[in-house]
Structure 1
Amino acid sequence: MKNKYLISIVGPTAIGKTALSIKLANYFNTEIISADSRQFYKEMQIGTAAPTPSELAAAPHHFIKHLSVENYYNVGAFENDAIALLKTLHEEHQVVIMVGGSGLYVNAVTKGLDDLPKVDIAIREQLNTRLQTDGLEVLQFQLKQLDPKAYQSIAIDNPQRVIRALEVCLSSGKPYSSFLKGKDKVRAFKTITIGLTADRAIIYDRINRRVDLMIDEGLIDEVKSLQSKQELNALNTVGYKELFKYLNGEWDLNFAISEIKKNTRRFAKRQLTWFKKNEDTLWFDYSTPTEDIIEALMRGIKLV
């Protein structure tokens, strides 16, 4: 039986993961799975740096703009969908590429999620309402009281992660952290993870220039078209929430853009912290020639 492989490309935002994924997909004549949870939504093209039409045409992609911001979709559903798709893709391709900066979604595929209890939908709706009316800090404080361990371990600045932990606590009566697994799920494929990185100053400069480019490409109009839906979870994310404040008259434009840059830099820092936890990741400078990365990959891949 031929071994099946998943090449998972991780790293901070704006580092060049999309470009590398296409080059590797072309080299291995295979397809790409996106594990970027922001790029699932068809209304969010510019602000999520989703692959362009030409990039999508360069290699087959999956989980790109396949949902509406009005659809509820979580990491558990993604795990199920991605594993089912991988089973199908591996029938035709010995190697499949996965790319994305959403660490929890990457882990869902490579390691599996914890078996969490069923959540009361009414509790989720109440928490989302409180997020809109009282703000994230109130929910963070509640989580700190109910589950200090989860408060210290999750991405506490991510509203969806905070709400997920709280809804489990409130639905089950037990700490969210008590459900976290001790070992990874067995997968039918071998994962090889490669990470792209750079000096912090370079990462931050690339982020700042990408935000300026997004503004030039029409991000403000994209956000304006979604203004009536700004309370939705999918839109409570960097690049959109700041411009909603501008469009709502709370901030001026220059300040909103500076906040997008600042919050994206913070996000990149959290991404690196998350991905550095995986000691098996093969790290490369963002400027490393693709040929060198392929050479390193081939040392762990046996093609038949």
Structure 2
Amino acid sequence: MNTKTLLSVVGPTAIGKTKLAITLAQHFNTEIISADSRQFFKEMVIGTAVPDKDELAAAPHHFIQHKSILESYSVGDFEKEALKKLDNLFKEKDIVVLVGGSGLYVDAVTKGLDSFPKIDASVRASLNTLFEKEGITALQQKLENLDPEYYNKVDKDNPHRLIRALEVCIGSGKPYSTFLNQEKPKRPFNVITIGITADREIIYDRINTRVDLMEQNGLLNEAKALTEHQNLNALQTVGYRELFQFFNGNWTLEFALSEIKKNTRRFAKRQLTWFKKNKETLWVNFNDDPKNIIATIKEKLQA
């Protein structure tokens, strides 16, 4: 019987996951593992809403800004490292908190990843070159031809996902979708998932306010300093991609900022769709009293 529990805090961007995770970590005297793939990279701070110094000091955090954008780091790498960290933490703690809005990375820890064949690195290199030369449309068209089933499910604006699927299709000669949903080994810990949500208008208002604050706090300078690396996988993300269009002279600043807000709202919608697939999630409102949330968690722990 598993006696260890992972409290997984999920939800759309700007909804208050960090705040709740810290509250839970403090109450249960434990530590936090971040499953936000955008916050792994130390060069990206403002645009990824990395917890501030006070938040990081409020509870021990892991997997925050521990990598460089120049390093290769996959969801598989994260799964291995996060499980190793959990194994060590569970030697001293009965409860650990996982927090993040990156659904695939959350699932990698809580459920495990599907198993894929090893693919020669040259395949990914050629796909990265295709992306740099012809853009995301070329990747989309290629995937639609090779694996229409996965093409209809994938986030078509995410080059990471497109390239990953394509390298498996090309390297194995089989559709990426045929490797999905295989039976996975069970985790040696229990998982209680707490999802934070709000009315759509509130979520969108919080996103718009956050983008405005990012601009005020220096997002433009941060993105400008990264312009020379704009083709790296780590930077194919909302908040940077749009500003590169501005720096490259393709868009006005006003339009770039409006696109950041629009694309972040779309991202939030996709996040909710992903997380709502888990029927066991305990959904709470963004302004619910944390004491009530903790009481509900304790009931589940004793069940």
The TM-score with structure 1 as length reference comes to 0.98
Q: Is the 8 A contact 1:7 1:194 kept in 2?
A: yes
Q: Which position in structure 1 is the counterpart of 2:248? A: 248
Q: Which position in structure 1 is the counterpart of 2:232? A: 232
Q: Distance in 2 between matches of 1:185 and 1:32?
A: 24
Deviation at 1:268, TM superposition (A): 0.3
Q: Which position in structure 2 is the counterpart of 1:267? A: 267
Q: Within 5 Å, which residues of 2 pair with 1:108-119?
A: 108-119=108-119
Q: Distance in 2 between matches of 1:159 and 1:224?
A: 21
User: Bigger shift: 232-241 or 116-125?
Assistant: 116-125
Alignment of 1:19 with 2:34, yes or no, is no
Deviation at 1:2, TM superposition (A): 7.0
User: Bigger shift: 177-186 or 129-138?
Assistant: 177-186
Q: Which position in structure 2 is the counterpart of 1:199? A: 199
Q: Distance in 2 between matches of 1:157 and 1:224?
A: 22
Cα offsets for 1:243-280 (capped at 9, x unmatched): 01111111110000000000000000000000000000
Cα offsets for 1:114-143 (capped at 9, x unmatched): 111112211101111111211112111111
Q: Which amino acid letter does the alignment assign opposite residue 136 of structure 1?
A: I
Cα offsets for 1:156-197 (capped at 9, x unmatched): 221100110000000111111111133343101000001000
Q: Which position in structure 2 is the counterpart of 1:10? A: 10
Q: Distance in 1 between matches of 2:214 and 2:145?
A: 39
Q: Within 5 Å, which residues of 2 pair with 1:27-176?
A: 27-176=27-176
Q: Is the 8 A contact 1:2 1:94 kept in 2?
A: no
Q: Which amino acid letter does the alignment assign opposite residue 233 of structure 1?
A: N
Q: Which amino acid letter does the alignment assign opposite residue 197 of structure 1?
A: T
SS in 2 for 1:91: coil
Q: Distance in 2 between matches of 1:172 and 1:187?
A: 28
Q: Which amino acid letter does the alignment assign opposite residue 93 of structure 1?
A: K
Deviation at 1:154, TM superposition (A): 2.1
Cα offsets for 1:262-299 (capped at 9, x unmatched): 00000000000000000000001101010011011011
Cα offsets for 1:27-55 (capped at 9, x unmatched): 00000000000000000000000111111
The TM-score with structure 2 as length reference comes to 0.98
Q: Which amino acid letter does the alignment assign opposite residue 20 of structure 2?
A: L
Q: Which amino acid letter does the alignment assign opposite residue 219 of structure 1?
A: L
Q: Distance in 2 between matches of 1:63 and 1:35?
A: 8
SS in 2 for 1:243: helix
Unaligned runs of 5+ in 1: none
SS in 2 for 1:185: coil
Q: Is the 8 A contact 1:154 1:161 kept in 2?
A: yes
Q: Distance in 2 between matches of 1:65 and 1:196?
A: 24
Runs of 4 or more consecutive aligned structure 1 residues displaced over 6 Å after TM superposition: none
Paired residues in the alignment total 303
Instruction: Give percent identity, aligned residues only.
Output: 59
SS in 1 for 2:90: helix
Alignment of 1:180 with 2:161, yes or no, is no
Deviation at 1:301, TM superposition (A): 1.1
Deviation at 1:18, TM superposition (A): 0.3
Q: Which amino acid letter does the alignment assign opposite residue 126 of structure 1?
A: S
Q: Within 5 Å, which residues of 2 pair with 1:281-296?
A: 281-296=281-296
SS in 1 for 2:284: strand
User: Bigger shift: 264-273 or 1-10?
Assistant: 1-10
Q: Distance in 2 between matches of 1:265 and 1:183?
A: 33
SS in 2 for 1:153: coil
